[in-house]
């Protein structure tokens, strides 16, 4: 009884303290992300039709599930399956509409020109990928070498040489990252990386 009373008391205190510490929730909301794809009125109408039909299907399913009194998982599963069979044509139409919407968005994206990177930036990206590959290969080689080591002295010697070589490889990776960052700044590319 004491534990329950103390738990309730501390819970009430924490909840009350948190409620006063919160800021105005309307200022914490991020702004809506910009539209990635410029949508035509037809595409917007298709998306809106999909959303309304999807919402209608969900509300109908929720209403059927609400009619069940104290349902078990099996009863819920059976009611859901019965709903799916009753509304199979509507669900199939929703899937077809979703595929049409995806195809329309894909075609819009394909129509956009892809930005081209300057050759210096492409070379910097390739140097970065090569440095990453060298790091991975060195780690694989280290694992193989450690498997072949027979005593502790050999292991320590292998690890010491690996650490020294790894410093050089990591510095090459950092230099490649710096070159990419500088190349983007010079090219006016606003992506982070």
Poorest-pLDDT segment among 36-40, 77-81, 139-143, 152-156? 36-40
The conformation of residue 188, written as its DSSP 8-state character, comes to: T
Q: For the segment 137-185, what is each residue's pLDDT rounded down to a tens digit?
A: 999 999 999 898 888 888 999 999 999 999 999 998 999 899 888 888 8
pLDDT at 133 over 60: yes
The last residue of one of the domains, among 73, 94, 114, is: 114
Q: Are residues 78 and 99 in the same domain?
A: yes
Q: What is the pTM of this model?
A: 0.45
Give yes or no for residue 188 having a pLDDT over 70. Answer: no
Q: Do 62 and 109 reside in the same domain of the chain?
A: yes
Instruction: Report the Cα 192 to chain-centroid distance in Å.
Output: 17
- Residue 13 has φ and ψ, to the nearest 5°, of -65, -45
Query: In the structure encoding, which two tokens stand for residue 67, read together?
Result: 């009619």
Q: Does position 31 have pLDDT exceeding 80, yes or no?
A: no
Range of the domain at 131: 119-187
CA Rg, the chain, in Å?
Answer: 30
Q: What DSSP letter does each residue of 120-157 carry, written as one string?
A: HHHHHHHHHHHHHHHHHHHHHHHHHHHHH--SHHHHHH
Q: Considering the domain boundaries, does residue 2 fall inside one?
A: no
The answer on 110 and 59 residing in a single domain is yes
21: in domain:
no
Structure tokens at 63: 């209403």
Domain count, the chain: 2
What the block records as the tokens of 73 is 């998982």
């Amino acid at each position: 009884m004491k534990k329950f009373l103390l738990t309730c008391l501390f819970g009430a205190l924490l909840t009350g303290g948190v409620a006063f510490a919160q800021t105005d929730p309307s200022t914490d909301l991020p702004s809506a992300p910009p539209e990635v794809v410029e949508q035509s009125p037809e595409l917007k109408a298709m998306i809106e039709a999909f959303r309304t039909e999807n919402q209608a299907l969900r509300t109908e399913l929720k209403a059927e599930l609400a009619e069940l009194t104290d349902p078990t998982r099996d009863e819920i599963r059976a009611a859901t399956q019965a709903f799916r069979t009753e509304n199979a044509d509507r669900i199939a139409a929703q899937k077809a509409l979703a595929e049409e919407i995806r195809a329309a968005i894909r075609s819009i994206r394909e129509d956009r020109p892809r930005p081209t990177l300057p050759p210096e930036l492409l070379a910097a990206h390739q140097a970065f990928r090569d440095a990453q590959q060298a790091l991975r290969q060195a780690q694989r080689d280290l694992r193989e070498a450690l498997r072949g080591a027979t005593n502790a002295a050999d292991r320590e010697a292998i690890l010491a040489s690996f650490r020294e070589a790894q410093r050089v490889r990591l510095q090459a990776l950092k230099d490649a990252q710096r070159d990419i960052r500088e190349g983007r700044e010079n090219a006016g590319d606003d992506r982070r990386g």
